[in-house]
Amino acid sequence: MQEFICYCFAFTREDIEKDWRNNGRSTIMEKIAREKQLGRCDCNLKNPKGR
């Protein structure tokens, strides 16, 4: 079973760990933060915890 970290963009823990290993930092987390700042996420609708 996949453990989603970001329901809006469907990133899993495994995706973020692989991104970190490949890039020396998490470009995925940077993308999530940027998209949230721009109001392009639906966490309140897509995340079962509503955040």
CA atoms within 13 A on the CB side of 38: 7
pLDDT of residue 41: 84
Higher pLDDT, 47 or 26: 26
pLDDT at 51 over 70: no
What pTM, to 2 d.p., does this model score?
Answer: 0.73
Nearest CA among 47, 51, 50 for reference residue 3: 47
Q: Which amino acid is at 13?
A: R
Residue-wise pLDDT for 8-36, tens only, equals 899 999 999 999 999 999 899 899 999 98
For the chain, which residues make up each domain, given as ranges?
4-46
User: How far, in Å, CA of 1 to CA of 17, rounded?
Assistant: 16
